[in-house]
Amino acid sequence: MGTLRKDCPNPGGHILVSLDSTMRRRLIRIALTLLLLPPLLAAAAGWLAGPAFLHPLRRELTPDLIRKADSSFAVIDATREDFDVRAPDGALLRGWKVRPRNPSGNWVLLFHGVADNRVGVIGQSEFLLRAGYSVLIMDARAHGASGGPIATYGWLERNDTRAIIDALVWSEVRRYENEQIRSGKWKVLLEDEAKPLDARHFKLPPPRTPQPGTPAHIFALGESMGAGIVLQSAAVDPRIEAVVAEASFANLREAAYDYAGLRKYPWLGKTLFAPGTWTLLYRDEKLAGFAAAEVSPAKAVASRAFPVLLICDEKDVALPCRHSEMIYAAARGPKQLWVVPRASHTAAYGFAPEEFRRRVLAFFASNTSRSP
């Protein structure tokens, strides 16, 4: 047996060592592939998805949708008129001014969500109109019937809102003047025309004093993208006195984490799929010319103190409640946070209609009591 071991050595040990080394290298390659492939694919997907993020699907404002909206307004004896506004960059923004039978003089601006149009907030407009509020419902830029090449989730839209309010105030002042002239209370006189001795002459107020016809109070309500837009708009325009925001995003990067995490696992968007977030935002910044970090409702509520009612939907997987919680934590003004049990994304009104109406109307009423 000793001679056999000497003359015929067993090479099995060398074979086993060789097999172990080969298997180890193979396992390392597999592990590296599994580790690196998802981030690389995510980065590619984020890069490709960048343009789509700026060009959401457009829900057309069809004649059928307009008829349904008009039927809804007719039931509550409200009247609508077309309202077009030219944005600072030249984009044409289209919408409706809707007035109840007995308007209170207070207005609510309504903002719809992404890939939707003005009809998406008709339900909220109904109970506001019943309560005496006039409502202004616009298609956001790059949505519905409005122009604009891209959606920027608040970067350009906050300036759109300022232009919309300018146009609203101007149109309401002109409307008041025309009503006074038609009723005979005012008379248009030529510059050199003799004025009656018993005439009451209207003295124009100073430029910063609200003119007759100016809305008494202006509030806003938005959902999803629209909530983020109106929070950022209120930060730069103090004429918006109070805001109701349902399912807003806290900031663009945080929202991108949820989308990169397949709307279920935001931790994936912050870790394994984070490169998808980075490339998407980087490409959008280059395409649109704005800093993604500045598109932030959380920063907006920290920059100006104004009353906010934040609504988050408990079962929301698109923009989970942590977004509203971040905004709530950052807000400097009077603030409320309502978590709606069992509600999915922007479905608070559907799940708790009576409570929704009660909270929103009470919130606006509490701010109506303040001086404009």
Q: Please, which pLDDT band fits residue 199 given cuts at 50, 70 and 90?
A: low
**Does the residue 289 lie in any domain?**
no
- Asked whether residue 288 is assigned to any structural domain, the reply reads no
31 occurs within a structural domain: no
Residue 89 has a pLDDT of 96
Q: What is the pLDDT of residue 212?
A: 87
Residue 204, in any domain of the structure: no
By percentage, how much of the chain surpasses pLDDT 70?
81
Residue 108 has pLDDT above 60, yes or no: yes
List the single range of 198-202, 237-241, 257-261, 341-345 with lowest mean pLDDT.
198-202
Q: Say what percent of the chain tops pLDDT 90.
A: 65
Distance from C-alpha of 341 to C-alpha of 361, rounded to nearest angstrom: 20
C-alpha to C-alpha distance for 145 and 246, rounded to whole angstroms = 23
Q: Per mean pLDDT, which of 12-21, 175-184, 222-231, 260-269 is the most reliable?
A: 222-231
- pTM of the shown model: 0.84
3-state secondary structure the chain: CHHHHHHCCCCHHHHHHHHHHHHHHHHHHHHHHHHHHHHHHHHHHHHHHHHHHHCCCCCCCCHHHHHHHHHHHHHCCCEEEEEEEECCCCCEEEEEEEECCCCCCEEEEEECCCCCCHHHHHHHHHHHHHCCCEEEEECCCCCCCCCCCCCCCCCCHHHHHHHHHHHHHHHHHHHHHHHHHHCCCCCCCCCCCCCCCCCCCCCCCCCCCCCCCCCCEEEEEEECHHHHHHHHHHHHCCCEEEEEEECCCCCHHHHHHHHHCCCCCHHHHHCCCHHHHHHHHHHHHHHHCCCHHHCCHHHHHHHCCCCEEEEEECCCCCCCHHHHHHHHHHCCCCEEEEEECCCCCCCHHHHCHHHHHHHHHHHHHHHHCCCC
pLDDT at 41: 75
Q: What is the pLDDT of residues 358-367, one digit of tens each?
A: 999 999 999 9
pLDDT classification of 1: cutoffs 50, 70, 90: very low
For residues 128 and 107, give the distance between their C-alpha atoms in angstroms, rounded to a whole number: 9
Helices 274-288 and 12-54, axial angle in degrees (round to 10): 30
The whole domain housing 68 covers 54-183+210-251+295-367
Q: What is the pLDDT of residues 20-57, one digit of tens each?
A: 777 777 666 666 555 555 667 767 877 887 888 899 99
Q: Quick: pLDDT tens for 311-365.
A: 999 999 999 999 999 999 999 999 999 999 999 999 999 999 999 999 999 999 9
Number of domains into which the chain is organized:
1
Domain contains 313: yes
Spatial separation of the C-alpha atoms in residues 122 and 137, rounded to whole Å: 8
| Residue 178 is assigned to a structural domain of this protein | yes
Would residue 264 count as lying in a domain?
Answer: no
In this structure, is residue 311 part of a structural domain?
A: yes
Any idea what the CATH number is for the domain that residue 78 is in?
Answer: 3.40.50.1820
